[in-house]
Amino acid sequence: MRSRYALPALSLRFVAVWQRHFLVWRKLAIPSILGNLADPLIVLFGLGYGLGAALGQVGGSSYFGFLAGGFLASTTMYAATFESLFSAYSRMHVQKTWEAIVNAPMTLEDVLAGEWVWAASKAFAAGVCLLAIVAAAGQASFPLALATVPVAVLIGLTFAALGLSINALASGYDFFSYYMTLLLTPMMMLSGVFFPVERLPEAVQAVAWALPLYHGVELARPLLAGSLPAQPLLNLAVLAGYALAGFYLATVLTRRRLLT
Amino acid sequence: MKSLEVRGLRKSYAGAEVVCGVDLEVAPGECFGLLGPNGAGKTTTLRLCLGLSDPDAGEIQLLGHAVPERAREARAQVGVVPQFDNLDPDFSVAENLTVYGRYFGLGRAQIAPRIPQLLEFAGLAGRSEAKIQTLSGGMKRRLTLARALVNDPRMLFMDEPTTGLDPQARHLIWERLRRLTQEGRTLLLTTHFMEEAQRLCSRVAIMDHGRIIAQGTPRELIARHLESQVVEVHGPGVEAWMAEAKTRASRTELAGETAFCYADEVEPLIASLHARPELVYLHRPANLEDLFLKLTGRDLRD
């Protein structure tokens, strides 16, 4: 008897699930990228240049440069989150795509791993686009800025895993607005996307250190500006820990939802 | 070796047992029908046999593989037609087949040459680029059936394959299923259309409240449990006529306004009805539906 709490048994079969999602995305790639990027870009340029003119230097650079690093982390977070919430829920619950897949010699773990890596791929695409735009605005310092791309993938894996856990608990699309409004939006405020975390009271800073997005920002911002992060191993370890624990949680919760 | 062998299968949901000790055997090449009212446990039994959910007790051997332990190997040789269509709405007809083949580890080069054949089988030749939303219910069902054949399976599982289809579409599906049996494939289908079971299935099992309550060929089950003829009667005064009918039939039953009279010799019943022109009657041979209603009762199930 397979236990609900067993570690996910991963196989390379998940690639077929990833390919399915890629094929669908390819049909709508341009509108999808524009849709995902329009909102963050408007805010980045609006705040970066508008508010930046009033603020002057923040954290030793222009406000636009400061904000770009934070936005790279939060945009990839949202890209992976949308995919693992709304899109995954459509495939799981509305279109019954998952059900069709597990009737073939595929397991629920294959489906979840496919969703996980796919959502991280969307984060990768969003990260690359944002990097290109920031570079075009002359605010990225190469070659180190290129290291933000694997960081975007790791942020994607982290928030895709958390999103899939939420997906397994969802009773409808409305359920996701609680997660986005009550967890992700405050996290964005606390993680140093818009302003340095050092400006916050110490107790609040301690909360920020426990949040995955904070560690994503701590990596992305210096790399984009061409310097090394202060504690890269710690940041990577926290993100990887959230990603792996989140995927395990998603596996257990999805088994509970679909296999009983 | 049997295609499917199930012993002592049990499954509970939230304290309620929905499959209560099911034994089943399906031989290679046969078309086996699992019949039962809604909520009898048919779909759960199929899910357990495919390894999509874990049984509380019992043993399952599907095409020689122990399930759920080796369900992946078993499913590699099985095709599944689910109760509700779950075709991929983002893909064309042909893409649905290509993408589904990948889940079996088949590359484009292996599937591409088979697509024309599969579309021909589904009656969808020339529609390979059509969008799923433009297909009728019957076309979607046939495409789902074709999709279940991408891996050239030895056995097919079909959950209510013709529910919701019009007679034309249903007859076409029946014709295709016969063709699959002629090719030597094993079929396991659930249905609550007795006509469908009688036409297609070499053997049937009737399931109710999680148990198999009768099993055999349709003909032998009818002979074992029922008189050979049925006279259905309705019209003014049918209740008064029942007293007379009881003396002339071996078994009678009044369901609402209609009397069902079961007998091997129906001449006495017919003679009595000729004296009562106000009563409308229908004389027909006993069928699987009579058996089903006798065994599972006439009460509504939801």
Q: Looking at the partner chain, which of A95, A259, A260 has a beta carbon nearest the beta carbon of B89?
A: A95
For chain A, what percent of residues have pLDDT higher than 70?
99
Please count the CA atoms within 13 angstroms of the CA of A21 that sit on its side-chain side.
26
- B213-258 pLDDT, tens digit per residue, is 999 999 999 999 899 999 999 988 888 888 888 888 888 988 888 9
- Cβ of residue A26 closer than 8 Å to a chain B Cβ: no
Q: Which of B90, B150, B159 to mutate to test the interface with A (most CBs of A within 10 A)?
A: B90
Give the per-residue pLDDT at A3. Answer: 78
pTM for this predicted structure: 0.91
Binary contact (A104, B84; C-beta < 8 A): no
* Alpha-carbon span A172 to B206, nearest angstrom: 37
At B155-187, the pLDDT tens digits run 999 999 988 888 888 899 999 999 999 999 999
Q: Give the residue-averaged pLDDT of B81-96.
A: 94
Interface check for B15 against chain A (CB to CB < 8 A): the answer is: no
The dihedral through the CA atoms of A51, A56, A60, A62 has a sign that is: positive
Interval B274-294: pLDDT, tens: 988 899 999 999 988 888 888
Residues of A in contact with B89 (CB under 8 A): 95
Q: Is A41 inside a domain boundary?
A: yes
The angle at the Cα of B79, spanning B74 to B80, to the nearest 5 degrees, equals: 110
Structural domain containing residue A144:
19-258
Q: Does B108 touch chain A (CB under 8 A)?
A: no
**Residue A10 within any structural domain of the chain:** no
Locate the DSSP E strands across chain B: 4-13, 16-26, 31-35, 57-62, 65-67, 78-81, 155-159, 186-191, 203-208, 211-216, 229-234, 251-255, 258-263, 280-285
Q: With a CB-CB cutoff of 8 Å, which residues 27-66 of chain A face chain B? A: 27
Tens of pLDDT, residue by residue over B181-216, are: 999 999 999 988 888 898 899 999 999 999 999 999
* Residue A238 is assigned to a structural domain of this protein: yes
Q: Report which of B46, B53, B75 is spatially closest to residue A259, judged by C-alpha positions.
A: B53
**Residue A202 counted as domain residue:** yes
Q: What is the SS3 assignment for B36?
A: coil
Q: What is the pLDDT at residue A47?
A: 86
ipTM over 0.95: no
Domain-embedded: residue A3: no
Residue-wise pLDDT tens digits, A30-41? 887 887 778 888
- Cβ neighbours of A86 (radius 10 Å): 15
- Whole-number pLDDT of residue B41: 92
The mean per-residue pLDDT over the stretch A178-199 comes to 92
Residue A260 has pLDDT above 80, yes or no: no
The 10s digit of each residue's pLDDT in A127-150 is 999 999 999 988 888 899 999 999
pLDDT band for position B302 (cuts 50, 70, 90): low
Residue ranges in chain A assigned as alpha helix (H): 14-27, 29-45, 52-55, 63-82, 88-89, 97-103, 108-136, 148-169, 174-178, 185-190, 202-209, 212-225, 232-258
Tell me: pLDDT of B106 over 70: yes
Separation between Cα atoms, residue B67 and residue A233, nearest integer Å: 44
Cα–Cα nearest to B103, from A105, A162, A245: A105
Q: Which residue of A has its CA nearest to B73?
A: A105
pLDDT of residue B90: 92
Encoded tokens for A237: 């370890």
CB B188 within 8 A of CB B32: yes
A1 pLDDT band (50/70/90 cuts)? very low
Alpha-carbon separation of residue B237 from A60, B92, B201, B249, B266 (angstroms)? 99, 59, 40, 18, 20
- A2 in a structural domain: no
Chain B CB contacts of A18 below 8 Å: none
Mutate to test the interface with B, among A20, A22, A28 (most CBs of B within 10 A): A20
Q: Give pLDDT tens digits for A56-105.
A: 788 778 888 899 999 999 999 999 999 999 999 999 999 999 999 999 99
Residue of A nearest to B88 (CA): A97
A vs B, Cβ pairs < 8 A, gives 63
Enumerate the residues of chain A whose CB falls inside 8 A of the CB of residue B95: 23
Which domains does chain B possess? 78-152 (no CATH), 227-285 (3.30.70)
* CB-closest option in A24, A97, A105 to B104: A105
Q: How many domains are contained in chain A? A: 1
pLDDT score of A2 more than 70: no
- Please report whether residue A123 resides in a domain: yes
Mean pLDDT (chain B) is: 92
Q: Is residue A11 part of a domain?
A: no
Beta bridge partners of A58: A61
> Looking at the predicted structure, is the pLDDT value of residue A117 above 50?
yes
Quote the minimal CA–CA distance from A125 to chain B in Å: 21
